[in-house]
Amino acid sequence: MNSMTGYASRTFVFSDQHYKIELKSLNHRFLELKLRTPREWNAFEPALRSAVESKVKRGSVELWVERMPGASSPNEIQVNQKQAEYAHRVLSELAVRFNLGDSVSLRDLLTFPEVIGKGGATPLTDAQINGLRDVLLVEVGKALDDLVKMRSQEGEKLRAALLAIVAQFRQAHGRFLKLRDQIRTRAQEKVRKRIEQCFEAYTTPDSQMRALMETRIAQEISYAFDKLDIEEELTRFIGHIDQIETLLKTNGLVGKKLDFMFQELNREINTLGNKAQDLDVSQDVISLKMWVEQMREQSLNLE
């Protein structure tokens, strides 16, 4: 079981240039991947996406890869001579073509972002770019392993917290089983007294009529007890608890399944409260609904 929350970072060196990888993931309904890499690495994007998708199935994942200043000269300013010459030539040709008469200044050259930069690097050859791609994928794979490990650790913490609440649900079910018999006994006694009062108030000498009335009343009482009986709801209630516990004890993608089970469990809790019409049950129902909401909020962070 994995949480969708995690963080990992790594650094590596290629061709005397330092790079940093950062991975951050948060909860999301599906897998959402955001890549932030140097512009010239756009060709690497499909491979990077594939690497992430192979190890992360759900969550909002952000992957940053950036160049770092060299360790020996962190404030080094470097000039791209070829780009500067190209920019100067283009600007000079434009000045002649439009008869501007102005010479190209340093300020004009600096308007080209590729001309000068901090911690820049010598452009890589095609062979080096392919090598960088291979090294990058290896390092990203290691960072992903670190991210998955952290998500797994967070998932175990969530599992323990959710199983603790499940134990409280089981205790509540035990209380409901005892209260069910008490509720039924109290209801029967209450109805019996009312029937006696009714016959005492409205006596009839006709034995056949009395027998008919007693039969009809017995039918109505049986129907009323069926409406008040919570045994069916208790059976479904503990069934949902068993399924939730089974999901929590398995590995894999369980977040969406748990969300559905919490909806079903909440429905049974509402029905229990409505049918029982008992103060003790009503108080328990309030607590149960709060626990379901706690579990639902925590499960939103499960993959």
Write down the domain spans for the chain: 6-74+125-152, 77-118
Query: Could you confirm whether domain 6-74+125-152 is CATH 1.10.287?
Result: no
Better-scored residue on pLDDT, 283 or 145: 145
Token digits for 135?
């090294």
- Average pLDDT on 241-265 reads 90
The tens digit of pLDDT for each residue in 105-163 reads 878 877 877 777 655 455 667 788 888 899 999 999 999 999 999 999 999 999 999 99
Better-scored residue on pLDDT, 88 or 157: 157
- Average pLDDT on 184-198 reads 69
pTM of the model: 0.65
| Closest C-alpha among 258, 262, 240 to residue 250 | 258
